[in-house]
Structure 1
Amino acid sequence: MIASLSPARKPVHRFEQVPSERYPTKAELLNALPAELTRLDPRKAWASLALSLGLSLLAYGLGTLIPLQWAALPLWLIYGLVTGTVAMGCWVLAHECGHNAFHPNRRLEACVGFVLHSLLLSPYYSWARSHAVHHAHCNHLEGGETHVPPRISSRSGQITEALKQKLGLRLFGWVSLFNHLLLGWPLYLFFGATGGEDYGRPISHFRIRTKGSQPKRQLFPESFRGLMLRSNLGLVAVLIALGCLAWQFSLLRVLCVYGLPYLVVNVWLVTYTWLQHTDLNIPHFSTEEWTWAKGALQTVDRPYGPLLNLLHHGIGSTHVCHHINSRIPHYNAWRGTALIRLRYPELVRYDPTPIHKALWRVATRCGAVRQNPMDGAFYY
């Protein structure tokens, strides 16, 4: 079933620019997916939560049994990889709660999302806000949010390209992987790294900027202060609980049982979002050329395989559908993906490149973007 969604045609090539007139309007794109796909099924939602949460609790429980000895290091590495991979499913479901695509009861849905994201040290309401901005302005250089590339004319773009030239593609690729996969998530939360040009820097998910020069756009308006505080309190509660566990069982035990899977969750999160919105053939648009439909169609579906699609609820293989209508729950996104590919076969992006090869290509080749005079878009 899942394999049948992979189209036989080649993915859109970098030099096959699509004229603006070939893109549908926002209304046409939304109408390509029937409204019934947004119908929520609480039984399927709870079943998905039971799968991810149950496997996560089991994995974390097994971690408490591993001895804190150097001889057990290989076992700890396997534990961190497996547990973090399983726990990523909880992160995906919390993300779905933030889109109001988990349960028809909004209070219950918010509670589920808040608890899951807080347990994984993600500020639920703050990230849901910035993520909504990302959906509203996908691939918009000024108004976009997350994985917005620097222009070659900007200071950061010039530094990035100079670093690439100095280090060479291979070393630059390793540096890029380290910065994105290990540092990228905290850098985004604390400083707004890879956010759009109009929001200014630094910008934090934990406090609202009140002093200094004001940006063209406010990512977190003053009215959002209460929800941001609620997000922060959830994180503080989890940190206090972790501190108590460290006091009771040792800091090393907490760092191994909780910290190792936490790093792996972050790696998966950045891997998905990075590859969903970055590649050599993906255009980014300035205000003059951008439309909502153009931006939504620049996301990429990739082949993560049946096991990861099960554990992570298809987040990386149905992402184009998700950007067209984020209210579609994951269990309906497979049908939505098939329908949107049939409706717009030349516009919906699918890249069959194995994930590790695509990740290396993006890490080594994607730095700053230049404007293409043929279509006015910006490419790596």
Structure 2
Amino acid sequence: MAFAATIRPTKTTSEHTPKSAVYPTKAELLKTLPPELSKLSPIRAWVSLAMSVGLSALAIGIGTLIPLSASATPLWLLYGAVTGTIAMGCWVIAHECGHHAFHPNRRIEGVVGFALHSILLVPYYSWAHSHAVHHAHCNHLEKGETHVPPRATSPLGQTTEQLKRNLHPVVFGIISLFNHLVIGWQLYLFFGATGGEDYDSPTSHFWNRKRNTNGKRRLFPETFNKWMVRSNLGLLAMVSFLIAASIQYSPLRVLCLYGLPYMVINMWLTTYTWLQHTNSDIPHFSNETWSWPKGALQTVDRPYGPILNLLHHGIGSTHVCHHVNSSIPHYNAWDGTNLLRQRFPELVRYDPTPIHKALWTIATRCGGAVYQNPSSKEFYF
């Protein structure tokens, strides 16, 4: 089935999900997606992997021909944008491995995910664990693992709201974009930025030191240490390779050839996750109102177009389906998205706003704290 033709956009998020919406049970929601959608095809998996890795290698090969000169700066910027955009597909394939949605052989799947994410300087096993927590507690103010906004009554929320009021919207939007797209991924990996209220802070994906958590939840249990070490060994191997390449060739060559695409990949990653989980009408829930179906449905499908959907395996246009059942591979998520929209047309969100406009709107309007609605007890920007 052709992926571009299977998705039938319904309403925009501004028209979606009334605050009094009746949500299905977890069983009802899962029942919408038949088991055959979770069936893995090794052939389609390898084809997707070959496309992303092959195109990335080709782009890097072309990059080796660009001279290291000031006059070639525009070529290097173009190289970084194109190569990073292509290589984001490798990130997505590793993401599927982390969900056991790539290959029926878990050992093969683990090797592929570990290799791809280590090359991209992602601590694979640590990320897979924290990401599973994110899926288990999506849009939960206390237990949510990422993209959890502060409450307006909290110290961080009060500070954020004060900045939002005092700064010009354009300045606030630029700061918000920089915090998310440029340094957001690193802040998340090193310090657990945007984690929920229940978690001990800072929470790092690289070390799991013993400390008094003062009653706070640990994101990584002590029994997880061996997997964190394995993740770090993959990163150490990649960093060693980059250092050796810098000695053999030059630090500037490695910075341009690897560093520029690396930055673009991270920008795509944070763009996707930010836009998937943030909008002015998306509620956040506390302990007294949260449920798994509510959290899973507070995600947004957006129009990235056929080229990006091909390169990035539809990660931004089928995200609601992914949160309902993360074991469904990307090539079946299009059918799953259709089924969910047909069964729950008022609950499955789709926002047709062009991506650049949506990004700026969210940066300027949704960068603050969330306030509680007294009637529904839900929290909104």
Q: Which residue of 1 aligns with 2:370?
A: 369
- Cα distance, 1:179–1:376 mapped onto 2, change above 3 Å: same
Query: Which AA in structure 2 matches 1:10?
Result: T
Q: Which residue of 2 aligns with 1:285?
A: 285
Q: Where do residues 171-186 of structure 1 align in structure 2 (5 Å cutoff)?
A: 171-186=171-186
3-state DSSP of counterpart to 1:256: helix
CA distance in 2, matches of 1:214, 1:3: 52
CA distance in 1, matches of 2:173, 2:301: 22
Q: CA deviation at 1:213?
A: 2.8
Q: CA RMSD in A?
A: 1.1
CA distance in 1, matches of 2:260, 2:361: 27
- Cα distance, 1:268–1:348 mapped onto 2, change above 3 Å: same
Query: Which AA in structure 2 matches 1:17?
Result: K
Query: Which AA in structure 1 matches 2:380?
Result: Y
Indicate conservation of the 8 Å contact 1:81/1:264, yes or no.
Answer: yes
**For each residue in 1:285-312, what CA deviation from the matched residue of structure 2 results, as whole angstroms up to 9, or x when unmatched?**
0010000000000000000000000000
Q: Which residue of 1 aligns with 2:347?
A: 347
**Aligned-pair identity (%):** 67
**For each residue in 1:321-344, what CA deviation from the matched residue of structure 2 results, as whole angstroms up to 9, or x when unmatched?**
000000000000000000010000
Indicate conservation of the 8 Å contact 1:152/1:368, yes or no.
Answer: yes
Query: Which AA in structure 2 matches 1:7?
Result: P
Q: Which residue of 2 aligns with 1:74?
A: 74
Counterpart check, 1:311 vs 2:311 = yes
Q: Where do residues 206-355 of structure 1 align in structure 2 (5 Å cutoff)?
A: 206-355=206-355
**For each residue in 1:26-84, what CA deviation from the matched residue of structure 2 results, as whole angstroms up to 9, or x when unmatched?**
11101110000000000000000000000001111111111000000000000000000
- Cα distance, 1:236–1:223 mapped onto 2, change above 3 Å: same
Q: CA deviation at 1:4?
A: 4.8
Q: CA deviation at 1:141?
A: 0.3
Q: Which residue of 2 aligns with 1:33?
A: 33
Q: Which runs of 5+ in 2 are unaligned?
A: none
Q: Indicate the larger mover: 282-291 or 154-163.
A: 154-163
CA distance in 1, matches of 2:32, 2:85: 33
Indicate conservation of the 8 Å contact 1:13/1:281, yes or no.
Answer: no
CA distance in 2, matches of 1:276, 1:3: 21
Normalization by structure 2: what TM-score? 0.97
Q: Where do residues 1-16 of structure 1 align in structure 2 (5 Å cutoff)?
A: 1=2, 2-13=4-15, 16=18
Indicate conservation of the 8 Å contact 2:96/2:102, yes or no.
Answer: yes
Q: CA deviation at 1:209?
A: 3.2
Q: Which residue of 2 aligns with 1:18?
A: 20
Q: CA deviation at 1:215?
A: 4.6
Indicate conservation of the 8 Å contact 2:200/2:219, yes or no.
Answer: no
Q: CA deviation at 1:165?
A: 1.2
Indicate conservation of the 8 Å contact 1:14/1:280, yes or no.
Answer: no
Q: CA deviation at 1:376?
A: 1.0
**For each residue in 1:228-255, what CA deviation from the matched residue of structure 2 results, as whole angstroms up to 9, or x when unmatched?**
0000000000000000000000100000
CA distance in 2, matches of 1:225, 1:135: 21
Query: Which AA in structure 2 matches 1:16?
Result: P
Query: Which AA in structure 2 matches 1:275?
Result: L
Indicate conservation of the 8 Å contact 1:185/1:266, yes or no.
Answer: yes
Indicate conservation of the 8 Å contact 2:16/2:349, yes or no.
Answer: no
Q: Which runs of 4+ in 1 moved over 4 A?
A: none
Indicate conservation of the 8 Å contact 1:12/1:349, yes or no.
Answer: no
CA distance in 2, matches of 1:15, 1:24: 13
Indicate conservation of the 8 Å contact 2:284/2:380, yes or no.
Answer: yes
Indicate conservation of the 8 Å contact 1:14/1:282, yes or no.
Answer: no
Normalization by structure 1: what TM-score? 0.98
Indicate conservation of the 8 Å contact 2:340/2:348, yes or no.
Answer: yes
**For each residue in 1:187-222, what CA deviation from the matched residue of structure 2 results, as whole angstroms up to 9, or x when unmatched?**
000000001111121110001131233453221001
Q: Which residue of 1 aligns with 2:107?
A: 107
Indicate conservation of the 8 Å contact 2:12/2:349, yes or no.
Answer: no
- Cα distance, 1:215–1:54 mapped onto 2, change above 3 Å: farther
3-state DSSP of counterpart to 2:245: helix
3-state DSSP of counterpart to 1:197: coil
